[in-house]
């Protein structure tokens, strides 16, 4: 049941399992089409779920983990759960939540559709609960702070819950506390412009969209008081991989002495990876940079380097907001202790 706070929020579910375990399918809100139109994909085969993840129809670290878990049900319907796990693992390389969720499915003693669906629903609820807890812990950091900044999209669309980095903003608004959020557009696919600005504005939150390159100027001129970003993978030492541009945002915040926080659930931590140097950074197609849908934005023959993520070093991070509470430096010791 939603809490009184959650009931005040306007959330858009990124996916929903339709029907029973044996004949049902995964329905996905196609985020590539937002905010102009809300269309849905019906994934009835594992390859369709994997393609939806790979092409960013569903995106965001927690969300792709849950979507992949539901995708395994499609494999279980055909008696091919193990094959489904391998196909879904290959869809995106950076977000650790994907591998965490698939590993939970792999460890099941029974891979029949009903058992796999039950586990997928548990994973979905786990992420929803985490979001609410992250929001409450982050809310304590806002105190009298009312001017915040974030990058990319970390709301319901990328989690299935109330979000991670934006969860404190949703809860502050639900409590009637003043909050003004500056959202970076997030090139090249504009997740901040298309998704975050859409989610926050339809919830009634005061949100201002800015270009990525205007972040440092905005921090100084608008007297930003706190910056919160999400994470797709957090190494054992606290180095955090997130949407490309996050590292530059953290540097700008550090220069202006504005606290920069990462918000992510336990499923985003990868204690087997010692530091950010070992995190695989996904590189995507040049067309994402040279074209916007069917409109050319650069010469067709230009060379393009298009990393989807970057790594923010732990010394730029004031704290990591998790469902278990706020993690402070020294991260190597505190992360291991809190997640133990």
Q: Return per-residue pLDDT of the chain as tens, 340 residues.
A: 345 555 556 667 899 999 999 999 999 999 999 999 999 999 999 999 999 999 999 999 999 999 999 999 999 999 999 999 999 999 999 889 999 999 999 999 999 999 999 999 999 999 999 999 999 999 999 988 899 999 999 999 999 999 999 999 999 999 999 999 999 999 999 999 999 999 999 999 999 999 999 999 999 999 999 999 999 999 999 999 999 999 999 999 999 999 999 999 999 999 999 999 999 999 999 999 999 888 999 998 999 999 999 999 999 999 999 999 999 999 999 999 998 7
Quote the pLDDT of residue 8: 56
Contacting residues for 218 by C-beta, under 8 A, at least 6 apart: 149, 182, 210, 224
Whole-number Å distance between alpha carbons of 132 and 2 = 10
For the domain spanning 6-127, the CATH number is 1.20.120.420
Whole-number Å distance between alpha carbons of 198 and 201 = 5
Helix axes 113-142, 96-106, angle to 10 degrees: 140
Quote the pLDDT of residue 216: 98
129 is catalytic: no
Quote the pLDDT of residue 2: 46
135-339: CATH, from 3.40.50.300, 3.40.50.10470, 3.40.50.1950, 3.65.10.10: 3.40.50.10470
Quote the pLDDT of residue 1: 37
Give the residue from 234, 170, 239 showing the smallest Cα distance to 205: 170
Domain ranges of the chain: 6-127, 135-339
Give the residue from 97, 118, 99, 96 showing the smallest Cα distance to 108: 118
Quote the pLDDT of residue 144: 83
Torsion of CA 265, 192, 156, 10, to 10 degrees: 140
- Reduced to 3 states (helix: H, G, I; strand: E, B; else coil), residue 199 is helix
Quote the pLDDT of residue 293: 82
Whether the model pTM is above 0.85: yes
Catalytic residue selected from 20, 30, 212, 232 = 232
Quote the pLDDT of residue 10: 62
Max Cα-Cα span within the chain: 58
Pairing state between β 206-210 and 240-243: unpaired
Q: Kindly provide the b/e burial profile for residues 188-225, where b requires at least 16 CB atoms within 10 angstroms of the residue's own CB.
A: bbbbbbbbbbbbbbebebebebbebeebeebbeeeebb
* DSSP run (H or E) holding 327: strand 325-327
């Amino acid at each position: 049941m939603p809490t009184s706070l959650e009931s005040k929020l306007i959330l858009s579910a990124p996916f929903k399992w339709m029907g029973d375990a044996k004949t049902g399918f995964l329905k996905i809100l196609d985020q590539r089409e937002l905010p102009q139109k809300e269309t849905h994909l019906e994934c009835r085969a594992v390859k369709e779920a994997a393609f939806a993840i790979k092409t960013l129809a569903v995106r965001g670290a927690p969300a792709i983990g849950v979507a992949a878990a539901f995708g395994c049900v499609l494999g279980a319907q055909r008696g091919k759960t193990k094959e489904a796990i391998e196909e879904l693992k290959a869809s995106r390389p950076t977000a650790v939540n994907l591998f965490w969720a698939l590993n939970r499915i792999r460890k099941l003693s029974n891979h029949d559709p009903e058992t796999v669906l039950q586990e997928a629903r548990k994973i979905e609820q786990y992420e929803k609960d985490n979001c609410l807890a992250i929001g409450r812990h982050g809310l304590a950091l806002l105190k009298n702070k009312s001017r915040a900044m974030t990058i990319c999209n970390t709301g319901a669309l990328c989690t299935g819950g109330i979000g991670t980095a934006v969860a404190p903003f949703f809860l502050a608004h639900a409590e009637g506390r003043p909050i003004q959020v500056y959202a970076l557009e997030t090139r090249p696919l504009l997740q901040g412009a298309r998704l975050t600005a859409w989610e926050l504005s339809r919830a009634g939150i005061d949100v201002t969209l800015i270009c990525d390159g205007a972040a440092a100027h905005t921090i100084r001129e608008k007297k930003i008081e706190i910056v919160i970003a999400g994470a797709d993978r957090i190494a054992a030492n606290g180095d955090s991989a997130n949407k490309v541009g996050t590292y530059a945002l953290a540097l700008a915040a550090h220069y202006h002495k504005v606290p920069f926080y990462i918000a992510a659930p336990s499923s985003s931590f990868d204690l087997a990876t010692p530091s950010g140097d070992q995190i695989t950074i996904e590189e995507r197609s040049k067309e994402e940079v040279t074209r916007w849908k069917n409109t050319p934005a650069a010469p067709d023959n230009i060379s393009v380097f298009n990393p989807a993520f970057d790594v923010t070093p732990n010394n730029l991070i004031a704290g990591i907001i998790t469902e278990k509470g706020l993690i402070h430096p020294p991260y190597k010791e505190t992360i291991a202790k809190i997640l133990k």
